[in-house]
Amino acid sequence: MRGWARQVVETPCGPILEEAPPRLLSDHATRFMLDHLRVRPGDRAAEPGCGSGVLSLYLERAGATLVAGTDLDPEVLVAARHNAHLNACTRVRFVRGALLEAVAGPLDLIVALLPHKPGPRPFSSRFYGGPDGTDLLLPLVAQARSRLVPGGRLWLYLNSIADIGRVLGALEPDFAVSLRAEKRRYYQQAEMDALCPGLCDYWQSLQARGLIELGRDAAGHYFLARIYEASRR
Ligand SMILES: C[S@@+](CC[C@H](N)C(=O)[O-])C[C@H]1O[C@@H](n2cnc3c(N)ncnc32)[C@H](O)[C@@H]1O
């Protein structure tokens, strides 16, 4: 497609070819999830906030029998459907809708890499997650509670710039939660302030209130990128 970029995403189940407008291409966070996610054969799976579809396509490759990817952005869905065709994935469907509202039936697996950067005001719908980063994560937890079968799993990508305590608190009554992976995600302050002027100052104010976790070492500023697996009791 005109103006689109192409990349090959290496996964444990072989390469996935991805084409999309450059701003929609999957990134390090998607690859981090791909490196750790465990799929069981026969899973009925969903990915709210599917973007260009790489994680959803991987779910099919890894053995899920049904996969539903959802997104609110119509341009994203064009790219995701294109990528399903490109990779000959026939068990994935991409639908427009908020979180899991457009997905029917019980689920065994939900994989979510949703916007959760907190900010003083809304910015990119790809990244903004509300004043403390939990605007989408808390409704997702509520949906996962009602949609996952007992033993079903929610795999959640969660950076320490969001109020993780609120998310884990919402999961705690109904899910057994395990931290599956963690790494330092280094960033330039200019990179974040380009998303929303004043973003880093805002994060410092959240850190001062003990709501989020930022760090700094010899390599620079960082936050912690984490992957949690929450199993429905
Ligand atoms: C950070 S991107 C992640 C995309 C994809 N999961 C990946 O790994 O490349 C987040 C996506 O969530 C979508 N999104 C934002 N709010 C949403 C909502 N309420 N329901 C579904 N998708 C949403 C955005 O349009 C964007 O495509």
How many other C-beta atoms lie within 10 A of the C-beta of residue 200? Answer: 18
Cα 140 to Cα 110: distance, rounded to the nearest angstrom = 10
Distance between CA atoms of residues 20 and 126, nearest Å:
14
Q: What's the CA-to-centroid distance between 49 and ligand 1, angstroms?
A: 3
Residue 172: DSSP 8-state: T
Q: Radius of gyration over alpha carbons of the chain, in Å?
A: 17
Pairwise CA distance, residues 223 & 200, whole Å? 12
> Which segments of the chain are extended strands (E)?
5-9, 16-20, 44-48, 66-71, 92-96, 107-112, 148-159, 175-187, 214-217, 220-232
- All residues at 6 or more sequence positions from 81 whose CB lies less than 8 Å from its CB, including other chains: 53, 94
Rounded to whole angstroms, the Cα distance separating 164 from 92 reads 30
Q: What is the pLDDT along the chain (233 residues), one digit of tens a residue?
A: 889 999 999 999 999 999 999 999 999 999 999 999 999 999 999 999 999 999 999 999 999 999 999 999 999 999 999 999 999 999 999 999 999 999 999 999 999 999 999 999 999 999 999 999 999 999 999 999 999 999 999 999 999 999 999 999 999 999 999 999 999 999 999 999 999 999 999 999 999 999 999 999 999 999 999 999 999 99
Residues with CB under 6 A from ligand 1: 26, 30, 48-51, 54-55, 70-73, 76, 98-99, 113-115, 125-126, 136
Which residue, judged by its Cα, is nearest atom 27 of ligand 1? 51
The pLDDT, as a whole number, for residue 1 is 82
Give the whole-angstrom CA distance, residue 153 versus residue 112: 11
In this structure, the strands spanning 220-232 and 148-159 are antiparallel
- Taking the C-alpha atoms of residue 12 and residue 32, their distance in angstroms, rounded to an integer, is 12
Alpha carbon 144 to its chain's center: 14
